[in-house]
Amino acid sequence: MSYRAQITVAASAGFCPGVKGAIDKVLELAAAGRSPVYTLGPLIHNKQVIETLEEKGVRAVKDASEIKEKGATLVIRAHGIPPGLEAAVRALDLNVVDATCPLVKRVHRNIKEWADKGYATVIVGDADHAEVVGLMGYTGGRGHVVSGPEEAARLPRLEKANIVAQTTQGTDVFLRTVEALRPNTGELIVSNTICAPTRERQSETMELSRRSGLVIVVGGKNSANTARLFRICAGLAPRAVHIEREDELSPELFDGVSSVFITAGASTPAWMIEKALARARELTEIHRSPLAAGLEFLWLLLVTSCVFTAAGAVALAYASMRLQGLPISPAMLALAGLFVFSLHLTNRAAEKGAAVPDRAKQLLFVRFGRTTRAVALLAGVAAIALAAGTTGTLALLLTAFFWAMGMLYPYKMPLGLDALAKFPGSKDIMTALGWAFVCAALPALAWGSLAYKSSQLAVVFAFTLVFARSVMFGISHVHSDMIVGNENFYKAAGPKATYAAVLSIFIFMEAILIALKNMAWKEPLVNAMIAGMFYYLGLMIFFYFRRMPEKTLAETLIDSQFLILAGLVLVS
């Protein structure tokens, strides 16, 4: 596709580490389910994210007195609070959890250290901002808030002062304020407490805004750091706009513009940025034919509806049957596709993700939501019916069991089984178990060959490959700032352990396949599988070293590995 304008997205855009940490903490508490979870004020300044957290049972209160449940969990939000207020809420019958950004805590310590030595504190920031209110509590009653050099010049003479910055303050404003304060201060300690992510974001924004005809700043209208970012852009670019939603972009904005820069505040999730990017592309695309638009929507619909994922399951089932030396059964292939389609579509319908769904999600889960859920249910029933006609009683019962567990996973499960959903990496493990069963174990049971080593190898192969697939999906979701918890292996284990795990899977699978090749066991088939695994390796390297592709493209790339593997096996 070609566009009238070159569109660049800031590499630093999206959640900052402090915001990510606060969201992770409340999600873990909500998942534990031991008590209601409240935050003292909105966790971050982003309406869409707050709405998503509310869907997961996390509520914001203005004052701790609003909480009536004894033993409820109260989370101190990322901006921090004054020490007096913290002491007061900790004295209540509540489980208080501190989610203050570590970089804000560093400013608390800095202010207290110099205040204890008798220094007055000058804070460069927004007086009404939650972070600044918290910082003032550490000044020992000798604090002053100024918005810039003009207000600093009007302060009374200070014999000893420590000047700090709100962590998201503009560097230029802070430095000019320091210089304005010097003439009227006896001894001035300069503590540049602007956080590193903010400095990086502002530096990139200034550089690219100067080179762009239009700057789009994405983020909450009540976010101070986003508003500050917009002011920087508006002063450097010919045209700048601050939006919360992609539908605020109009065609007129792009008239005569050859370069567009998209950036965002620290409390803006990546999925909001992706939607703004998609809308900008749509409005700047040249000669977009109805056929091209239709094909693009069809691709989006196939991926979003999990039809593409179901095709991947059929492909894996085919490769697994070939590996076991079993006859290729159309019924078993259909069973695998229907089973995976049913569970993945059900789970997707239950997702609490982006507050503004794309066109495909709007069609499938809003306009025809009930129909979509009914289709998912019927697909599962059809899979079990196929199992009844092609397998024994044990295999049928196992199929029904795995399907029921998968259907109940997103919801409150009976008999305490919902504890499974709280186990770190549970979603990836359960997904891999379900796929391995229908794609490899069930065909073996149907032909009475599960005792053979080739069948056991196929089950292990399918499980590890699907586990890696699910983990890579988790990486994509986290990098898109989707609201996920520790059921996601990447979120639970962290980046280093996750990439070490997926690399180990590749080495493990290749070692087995090479050993089989050296034993001259089904050599053409093994050669095809060895080659197919390198797509998996390439995908892992791409995810590690490159900026993560948008969610639909990432899903297409990940599930294509099964289709490529089946294609190689077919021609072997």
Q: Determine the angle formed by the axes of helices 453-479 and 523-545, rounding to 10 degrees.
A: 20
Residues in the chain: 572
Tokens of 90: 């900790």
Could you tell me which residues are beta bridge partners of residue 74?
Answer: 38, 96
Residue 224 · residue 167 · CB < 8 Å: no
Burial of 6 from C-beta contacts in 10 A (0-12 / 13-18 / 19+): middle
Residue 246 CA to residue 264 CA, distance in Å, equals 13
Could you tell me which residues are beta bridge partners of residue 61?
Answer: 40
Write down the residue that tokens 């899979």 correspond to.
383
Residue 174 · residue 192 · CB < 8 Å: yes
Residue 224 · residue 249 · CB < 8 Å: no
Write down the residue that tokens 């809308």 correspond to.
279
Burial of 190 from C-beta contacts in 10 A (0-12 / 13-18 / 19+): middle
User: Of 442, 372, 365, 369, whose CA–CA distance to 402 is shortest?
Assistant: 442
Q: Active-site residues: which are they?
A: 131
Residue 82 · residue 137 · CB < 8 Å: yes
Residue 196 CA to residue 193 CA, distance in Å, equals 9
Residue 163 · residue 191 · CB < 8 Å: yes
Residue 21 CA to residue 481 CA, distance in Å, equals 12
Tokens of 117: 């030595």
Residue 333 · residue 318 · CB < 8 Å: yes
